[in-house]
Structure 1
Amino acid sequence: MVEPTPKAPQLLPLIAGMFVAIMPIMTSPFIVGSAMDAIGITMAKAGWLGASALVPIALTSMASAPFLPRLPIRAFAVFCAAMLGFSYLGLAAVDAYWQYVCLSIFGGVGAGGLLAVIAMKVAQTPDPERVYGYIYTVTSIGFAALMFGLLPMREFAGVGAMFLVLAGLAAAPIPLLARLATSAPAAAAQSHEAASAERWPVILLFAVMTLAAPLNGGVYAFCERKAAELSLSAQATGTILSLTMICSIIGSVLVSWIATRPGRTIPTVVVLMIAGISYMLILAAQSVETYVVGMILYGLIQMAMNAYMFGLASALDRQGRVAGALQGYSLIPYALGAGLFGSLARGEPLAMLAWPSLIANLAAIAMLLPLLLMLDRTGRRQNSRRDTAPLAS
């Protein structure tokens, strides 16, 4: 039986859990930049350091999902959050590249397990999109505040103090996670869409994610380094990243308002087009103004892209199998984007990646367009049948 819509006491553990689970993703620019400053590693190594946390999140999330119904869910969630907290404690004390990598992997495993728990609990609600909207809105506000203060704190108190703060934030929600609902997952409803789902749209969607996610991850991982190229201060960079998070809140609100009322094609293509423009502006920026505009656009589409891509996956399979798999899988190319950008740039200005990023993004749109048009046609036919059914009866 599907759980009722969560009230505030049930929502708080979900929000806190999601905040902790995606913390390594949202703070990856700080991890990358701190490692470059603290231990003097190259840009290529820094990129792969970012990937070393994000890939374990994806793999653990996908691998643990089938076993969650047989696990003590509260204890597992608390254990995963503690793993991430201990990894940040370790990062505050180490000074070698391999130690950074090992601790990042350890924390990523904990974050991935927690992400799977939160995804399962959200799936038990009757309106997952609405619940995700609440979660993304509140977590975005939290990360906006975090980004505003984290860089100045690093400048004032050092890299170690920054990691200690992150460790505290990872551990703080543990009492809330211990209150997670423990009811069994809802049985997936059988539907015509799920029964008749074809393989080619699913394969195409995963191919598009393989192409689009590395662009998103690479740009985000090196956006702080781009600010350093433009000689921005730590305070200015933190303010811009905080503004980006605020824009992601606006983007989430716009998606919840527009949703798929005009169909899936127009809003999805618009979001992806804005994404490509933001990548181009950020990477090619020769002035602070251009960089800020790019970061604002990036913030607007950051959560909107997730909403539409995972919504598209849900339309292909109403049982949620495709959406669940895509959410975990998307983190792999997203994480590899940091390593790819670092390896391609090899210490050169990031502007060299601007045009290739835009072209790859346009290719992703072209690949996705037939699927979007097909789903819109299917939706119109289903709506037409529903409208004519009362007349026929």
Structure 2
Amino acid sequence: MNTSVAMQFKRSETVAALAIGCVALLVLGLQPALLGALVDQHRISMEGVGIVAMGEIFSLGVGTILAEKYLPLHRLRTVAVVASLLLIAIDLLTLTAHGDLACVAWRVLAGLLEAGLFWIVTMIIVRSPQPDRLAGVFLTLQTCVQAAAALLLAKVSVASLGWGQPFVLLAVVCVLPLLIASRLPARLGEHTEAIHPSVVSWTGFFALLVPFLHMSAVGALWAYLEPVVNEAGVGISIDALASLVLVMQVIGGGAASLTVRRGKVSQALMVSALAFAAVGIVMYRLPAHSTVAFAVSCAVFGFLWLFQMPFHIRLAFDIDPRGRIAMLVPPAQLVGTGFGPLVTSFTVHGNEVGHVPLLVAGFATCVVVAVALVKLGVLTRHKAGGALSGGGDVG
């Protein structure tokens, strides 16, 4: 895959950027513990849990777009240091917040600062010679980091850090970017028209819908997995199922890293999206107490979660080698992660969540439609004599 924005980075620069990206997204893996701590201490209401969670995720996604537009590419190290210092302060200040509104305000600010750190790794990924493969490596790495952090929280005594231990851990981890900021590239050039983010066409718009809809499906099922498990009467704990999903995420991310540069990107996306839709339908139609079948469905869900994501980057570069659309893929993924649970919450009444897997299947089916529209758009432009210079194979 040839891209017109590729740069050569030292290994230490790439590793530093990936590590900072893992810090930026650590909150996604710790949100259940973070929000649970706030609820247990009556800092937020049960109704406010979703608002706090979605506020931080949405601000992370939108903040990444704003960061690309306004943050200087020749000040990566400064951005890392300033964002980390402010994020440490806000993570600790969250411990003093009382009420849904106050917690939302602090976590929205946290999301914007996390976006500044995530922007750094995004800029490195989209400018690397193999952005799709590096994206797969990053997704797998950040999943492992989230798992390690969650395991650490489970092992650390609450008495040693108090009820706010998840936020203390988050603040401690945010020291890492301060220590490795000097390893980042000194500059990445300037913002130019060649790489300025733009949807540029309906084809580009549908290409962004693919990651948005995929992560909407993921977010909807992940957010409601515990109540869905309870309603299904599955004879296995939610912790065991979550661990299974996590293991399969790592396997899926690894598989994507090895295969993302082979074969047809549209076929890979369509097949994986259809498989995701099948997972939702199977979960919906399973009779009660179908433990093995439900566990297998969760395993497939975990695999598809990370397997599809590197292909989002490749699809974006295949239709726009200048990287304008690729820069918007990570924000689209993040906003989709928040959009899915938000839409699902409007359909849930009381404890009735049996329909959630069917809604997930609907999101996944829409991914298939979006990929088909991207392919149709590319074929139409080729027939009209407007083939994209340097474009890859979307077929």
TM-score (norm 1): 0.81
User: Residue in 2 aligned with 1:213?
Assistant: 215
Distance (Å, rounded) in 1 between the aligned partners of 2:353 and 2:245:
20
User: Residue in 1 aligned with 2:205?
Assistant: 203
Q: Which residue among 341, 362, 367 is the counterpart of 1:364? A: 367
Distance (Å, rounded) in 1 between the aligned partners of 2:159 and 2:264:
49
Q: What is the Cα deviation at residue 182 of structure 1?
A: 0.9
User: Residue in 2 aligned with 1:275?
Assistant: 276
Q: Map 1:54-93; keep pairs closer than 5 Å.
A: 54-69=57-72, 72-93=75-96
Deviations 1:92-130 (A, max 9, x none): 444422232122111101111111122112333222233
Instruction: Give the aligned residue type for 2:188.
Output: A
Q: Map 1:100-179; keep pairs closer than 5 Å.
A: 100-151=103-154, 153=156, 159-179=163-183
Distance (Å, rounded) in 2 between the aligned partners of 1:17 and 1:296:
29
* More off after superposition, 165-174 vs 286-295: 286-295
Q: What is the Cα deviation at residue 236 of structure 1?
A: 5.0
Tell me if the contact between 1:5 and 1:126 (Cα under 8 Å) persists in the aligned partners.
no
1:350 match: secondary structure: coil
Q: Is 1:30 aligned to residue 30 of structure 2?
A: no
* More off after superposition, 119-128 vs 203-212: 203-212
Deviations 1:110-163 (A, max 9, x none): 111111122112333222233323322322222222233435658787641222
Distance (Å, rounded) in 2 between the aligned partners of 1:345 and 1:156:
36
User: Residue in 2 aligned with 1:389?
Assistant: none
Q: Is 1:306 aligned to residue 309 of structure 2?
A: yes
Percent identity between matched residues is 17
User: Residue in 2 aligned with 1:185?
Assistant: 189
Bigger fraction of residues in helix: 1
Q: What is the Cα deviation at residue 175 of structure 1?
A: 0.4
Instruction: Give the aligned residue type for 1:124.
Output: R
Q: Is 1:241 aligned to residue 242 of structure 2?
A: yes
Change (3 A) 1:236 1:354: closer
Q: Which residue among 349, 354, 371 is the counterpart of 1:351? A: 354
| Aligned pairs, number | 378
Distance (Å, rounded) in 2 between the aligned partners of 1:19 and 1:378:
38
Distance (Å, rounded) in 1 between the aligned partners of 2:344 and 2:44:
15
Distance (Å, rounded) in 1 between the aligned partners of 2:223 and 2:105:
19
* More off after superposition, 141-150 vs 265-274: 141-150
Tell me if the contact between 1:29 and 1:224 (Cα under 8 Å) persists in the aligned partners.
no
* More off after superposition, 172-181 vs 320-329: 172-181
Tell me if the contact between 2:214 and 2:367 (Cα under 8 Å) persists in the aligned partners.
yes
Deviations 1:283-319 (A, max 9, x none): 7775454443333222212222221122211111101
Change (3 A) 1:283 1:165: farther
Instruction: Give the aligned residue type for 1:267.
Output: A
Change (3 A) 1:373 1:4: same
Change (3 A) 1:338 1:83: farther
Unaligned runs of 5+ in 2: 388-395
Compute the RMSD of aligned alpha carbons.
Answer: 3.8
Tell me if the contact between 1:284 and 1:354 (Cα under 8 Å) persists in the aligned partners.
no
Distance (Å, rounded) in 2 between the aligned partners of 1:125 and 1:186:
16
Change (3 A) 1:208 1:42: farther
Distance (Å, rounded) in 2 between the aligned partners of 1:156 and 1:292:
34
Distance (Å, rounded) in 1 between the aligned partners of 2:284 and 2:96:
33
Q: Which residue among 14, 17, 34 is the counterpart of 2:20? A: 17
Distance (Å, rounded) in 2 between the aligned partners of 1:103 and 1:174:
21
Q: What is the Cα deviation at residue 366 of structure 1?
A: 2.6
Tell me if the contact between 1:53 and 1:108 (Cα under 8 Å) persists in the aligned partners.
yes
Tell me if the contact between 2:90 and 2:110 (Cα under 8 Å) persists in the aligned partners.
yes
Tell me if the contact between 2:216 and 2:336 (Cα under 8 Å) persists in the aligned partners.
yes
Q: Which residue among 96, 100, 122 is the counterpart of 1:97? A: 100
Tell me if the contact between 1:48 and 1:336 (Cα under 8 Å) persists in the aligned partners.
no
Change (3 A) 1:120 1:367: closer
Q: What is the Cα deviation at residue 18 of structure 1?
A: 1.0
Distance (Å, rounded) in 2 between the aligned partners of 1:37 and 1:154:
16
